[in-house]
Chains A and B, each alone.
Chain A
Amino acid sequence: MTRSRLGMLAALLGTGALLAAAVAVEPFPHEDHSKLFVRCQTCHPGAAQPGQSFWPAAADCASCHDGTIEKEVPWTPRTEPLPSNLRFTHEAHARVFTQEQRRDTTLTCTECHSAPGAKWMSVQREVMDNCFACHEVRTAHFDAQPGKCATCHVPFSEMPSGVTAARVATWKAPTSHESADFQAEHGDLAAPVVVNGTSYQVSPACATCHAREYCVTCHVNAPEVPEIQALRPDPRSLAMKEGKIEAPASHEEPAFLTTHGRKLSRKQLMLKCGTCHTATSCEACHQVPPQQVRLLAVAGPGRGTGATVTRARPSTHGKNFTDGHAALASGSPQTCAGCHVQEQCLQCHRPNAGGQGTFHPADYISRHPVAAYSRETSCADCHNPGQFCQTCHAQNGIVARGTFIGGQATYHDGNPTFAVGHGPAARQGLETCVSCHTEKDCMVCHASFGGRRFSPHGPNFPAEKLRKANPQMCLACHRLGIPSN
């Protein structure tokens, strides 16, 4: 069973226990007794006098509720105060009223426990507005300024053990946590503050409800974040609803995958990326992780798992990307090298005869003439014309094995005059011709020495440049009679 399910079960059990307790002990009907008591301390002497019981004794109630005057009531006074994360004590508050302000304790109880203008003994456990009014909190409870929380609440790790994990699981999140920017900005909210002259290494607002374990569920850089280390450990914090890491909006940008390493300084990398990502998450994509990755933490104890990265094809690598990636790959090899190593280039560019290639679709054999005639991509980047094209064509019996004018023209039977009119096709698709024909085939007609002297040279033929670069080519057809221009 996962931790979240266990937490849910604990929360359900805790809630059930609280409901059971509420049913078993009905709240005392203060207003029904308003004409009997004129002082709160009659029943709650401990509220003003240290060492006295805070609750009335069962015998005190039984003086009326004896079964004759009034029906009996079950009542067993508590011996310990109700556990909570409140910093509040009656003794301290009573001292302020009675000793510093010299007020009557009979009246001061209602300052906290009754709404303004309420009838005598119309009391509640607490009237929070009254607390806020005195302590100058001018917002709703869950919108209070960070420093104000510590006025009434102790840090999470200092809560009495009576505040169970099940009770923690029922706590409500402050309004700020619902903000869309909360994930990105909560670090600023947790920054150290000084409240009423007291320095806090982590905002009391965070420390009130969270302990270190909770932050570690997400933060992979927890050991390096002073605010997290300022929180003390307390496993009860894990009972709270687990935080959910959502990729920032910037990660949705199509260009993010190709640019995310360029804009960040070392400090930004640590602060921004290092919060959610370990070096391991970079290695999910980067075959050879760049140097900056070394700045990120390595996954281990005391760190959260962080964002789980799944290697994904960038949006730029769409359906047609492989056909046209040459311009990007040769122009920006460093970008490609972010995720790819040369071995992967060779996997496609050095075709494997043992299976269907990863580049061409499975039926490519049946339609490769179309692509070959126009060279929609350069075949020779991956296929050696001799080893690949000629070998296959020869095995299938469709290459020229003799003179071109002989039987070989039969292959081009779709055009009766192909043999004498093949010039345009040859100049447009010479690479295709070479997949079946050798130099000897063409020299039968095109050689000026030993051939039929049909010039193969086209308009603007750079004769002089070629002769200068490699006269051997000229010698093949012209022998020693190479024209001067």
Chain B
Amino acid sequence: MTRCPGLVRVGLAALAITTSAAPVAAQGFRASFDLRGQSVATRGWLLDSVPRSDVQPGVGGGLYSSTGYAVTCSTATFCYYYAPGPRLQYAPVVLTTDVTAWGLGTSGLSAHLNIRMNASAADEPFAGTTPAFQFWEGYLSYQHAWFGVLAGRQVFTSRLGFAGFDGGRATVRHRTLGLEATGYVGLGLARASSVGINDPATAPLGDYIPGERNLIGGIEVGIARGPVEARAQWQRQVDRTTDYLMSDFLSGNAVIRPLERVAVAGGLDYDLAQGWVGSAEAEIRYMAPRVYVTAGFKRYMPHFDLWTIWPAFSPVPWNGVQGSVVVSPLRWLKLRGRIEWHEFEGTGAETALGSAAPTGSLWAAGATITAFPRWTFDAGWMYDKNFGAAAAGGDVSIGWTPRDPLVLRLYGAYSQRPLVYRYNDSYVTWAGLDVSLRATQQVLVGASVVYINEDRNRPDAAAFDWNQARVSAFVTYVLSAGGADRLSVPDAVKRMPSAVGYQR
């Protein structure tokens, strides 16, 4: 544990006090401990150079070093290339603890904590493990029939993403009318992070970071009546040092189920600061016992906070259509297909020396067979192409459940993955085995082994080995009282029947 901010200590102390207090009626808690570790070994890359005088033309007319590497001579004196770097060994071990306690003397009062501790059994820290102590949530919640209050570190999920902050949230609701309004304000956390934007962990390359954490606040109103659920939200982030805006968004979402088998969902966000429509989507879903069809439109607009310079680089959105179908002609056979196509809006930057394909598409098909009890066979194929890279390949998996608590899955795949802006046409073959066992109602254990073989098709010596093996294991233990003595969603439910292929 490298750091434990004061707020964290206060939160932990409050939780300890509340959970160790004398038991009162209906006191209860649920604590889950999830310990995971994996071992990964990869080959790093090393930027190297040779004097311009030491290179000569080679295969294809390009310049090569005397050691056989294709080089780029972007300066007058030196030419550069990537050589095999050191072997990198990672062994992250992560303990995630989630605790909810209730019955704290006041009906409706509960305490929540979600923390993660990272350690490494190897020299290299793995991506996402810094800082070592990650405080994701720690708040007290009071819920009444018509209002609720949350105070502490919390994550507010909405169309605009997972907004983490230290602060307060209040909700008023009218159950009969199905109306709900929420307001929240606090000191923000960086996107997908447990630390603020001023933490060096968010800028490992030493880039500029603000001096203080931002202020975040917003209002969301929602309605859920009959076949309609809808939300509207306004969220603003402010730089506390300068009072300048960091982001200012309006968004709306709705899901309507006009018929038993039909659902229509859509949403849109609008960037008030820049005055343009951000991401949006609309889709229709039809669900019959043996047919499931979706069709829709999607627009994706990247979002950068205004304290960075990236909005000034005019990122462009893409607009696309997508559709999917799942059909079960037989009870034991499920066929699926998926098509997506998108086109970027004009960049205005095309020149004779540079352009990018404006369109991309994805085609996928697959089948799942469950003709034999306890066995699941799955095969899929996918072709995915866009302006910077492409992938095409297929995968197969076999799932076997010899006994209910024990699940084994063997899988493998092959794909070709060319890059557009780098000589790196890889042919990847991989295979793996997952095992999971629900040892008791409270304990789930599992392990996984994957080997990835990557043949890199380059005309020079830079086609070095980048194969890797990954071995991982986990144990999840749930400790509880007050009736909530079940594990959370089991992996068997949370994961796809063969969530190992390209068909995601």
Contacts and interface: CB of A to CB of B under 8 A. Distances in A.
Q: Do A and B bind each other?
A: yes
A352 to B, nearest CB: 5
Interface in A290-327: 311-313, 315-316, 318-320, 322-324, 326-327
A285 B192 CA distance: 28
A433 to B, nearest CB: 9
A362 B450 contact: yes
Contacts of B430: 362-363, 366
Contacts of A461: 312, 314
A52 B504 CA distance: 87
A332 to B, nearest CB: 4
A421 B309 contact: no
A332 B303 CA distance: 23
A412 B308 CA distance: 24
Interface string A413-446: 1111111111111111111101000111011001
A466 B501 contact: no
Nearest to B127: A392
Contact of A443 (B224, B253, B309, B426): B309
A385 B128 CA distance: 10
A85 B76 CA distance: 111
Interface stretch (A35-43, A232-240, A339-347): A339-347
A345 to B, nearest CB: 6
Interface residues of A, number: 137
B44 A362 contact: no
B45 A397 contact: yes
Interface in A345-362: 345-347, 349-356, 358-362
A101 interface: no
B270 interface: no
B491 A367 contact: no
A103 B419 CA distance: 108
B464 to A, nearest CB: 12
Interface stretch (B4-12, B17-25, B35-43): B35-43
A425 B354 contact: yes
Query: Which bucket holds chain B's interface residue count?
Result: 35 or more
Contacts of A440: 207-208
Nearest to B32: A343
Contact of B245 (A438, A470, A474): A470
A397 B47 contact: yes
B38 A355 contact: yes
B181 interface: no
A352 B96 contact: yes
Chain A interface main SS type: helix
Interface string B58-88: 0000000000001110110010111001001
A247 interface: no
Contact of A409 (B74, B347, B348): B74
Most A C-beta atoms less than 10 A away, residue of B34, B254, B348 = B348
Interface string B379-398: 00000111111110001000
B426 A366 contact: yes
Chain B interface main SS type: strand
A333 B70 CA distance: 53
B35 A354 contact: yes
A341 B36 CA distance: 21
Given A396-B42, A420-B354, A469-B245, A411 B422 contact: yes
A387 B201 contact: yes
B306 A470 contact: yes
B319 interface: no
A353 B127 contact: yes
A254 B472 contact: no
Most B C-beta atoms less than 10 A away, residue of A253, A316, A365 = A365
Contacts, number: 480
Given A330-B157, A406-B75, A456-B313, A391 B204 contact: yes
Interface in A362-400: 362-363, 365-367, 369-376, 378, 380-392, 394-400
B244 A335 contact: no
B336 A410 contact: no
Given A327-B265, A352-B94, A391 B308 contact: no
Contacts of B260: 253, 255, 259
Contact of A430 (B92, B310, B324, B501): B310
Interface in B383-430: 384-391, 395, 411, 413, 415, 417, 419-424, 426, 428, 430
Contacts of A81: none
Interface in B42-61: 42, 44-47, 49
A407 B389 contact: no
Most A C-beta atoms less than 10 A away, residue of B279, B316, B340, B430 = B316
B155 interface: yes
Contacts of B279: 378
A439 B207 contact: yes
A354 B38 contact: yes
B82 A410 contact: yes
A353 B283 contact: no
Contacts of A313: 493
A217 to B, nearest CB: 24
A353 to B, nearest CB: 4
A333 to B, nearest CB: 7
Given A353-B126, A387-B204, A472 B422 contact: no
Nearest to A437: B205
Contacts of A378: 161, 279, 300
Contact of A369 (B287, B347, B389, B452): B389
A424 B128 contact: no
Contact of B302 (A259, A375, A412, A457): A375
Interface string A137-155: 0000000000000000000
A289 B96 CA distance: 25
Contacts of A324: 283, 294, 322
Given A333-B231, A366-B428, A423 B351 contact: yes
Contacts of B307: 470, 472-473
Contacts of A458: 313-314, 316, 347-349
B255 A429 contact: no
B38 A331 contact: no
B495 A358 contact: yes
B481 interface: no
B45 A320 contact: no
Contact of A344 (B231, B346, B388, B489): B489
A424 B205 contact: no
Nearest to B353: A421
Contact of A367 (B191, B285, B302, B415): B415
Contact of B275 (A412, A438, A465): A465
A165 B275 CA distance: 81
A328 B417 contact: no
B162 A353 contact: no
Interface in B244-277: 244-246, 248, 253-255, 257, 260-261, 263, 265-267, 273-276
A407 B324 contact: no
B438 interface: no
A387 B127 contact: yes
B491 A358 contact: yes
B85 A334 contact: no
A477 B208 CA distance: 13
Contacts of A418: 354, 421
B93 interface: yes
B157 A345 contact: yes
Nearest to B426: A366
A417 B422 CA distance: 12
The 6 closest A-B CB pairs, nearest first, are: A421-B354, A354-B36, A458-B314, A423-B349, A354-B94, A373-B388
23 contacts: A253-B261, A327-B253, A331-B231, A331-B266, A339-B489, A343-B98, A353-B38, A355-B94, A363-B415, A370-B385, A370-B388, A373-B389, A378-B279, A384-B128, A387-B204, A396-B88, A400-B205, A421-B354, A424-B355, A430-B304, A439-B308, A456-B313, A457-B312
Given A326-B281, A332-B255, 12 more contacts: A283-B486, A342-B155, A355-B38, A358-B491, A360-B504, A395-B124, A397-B46, A397-B47, A408-B47, A413-B422, A434-B310, A473-B311
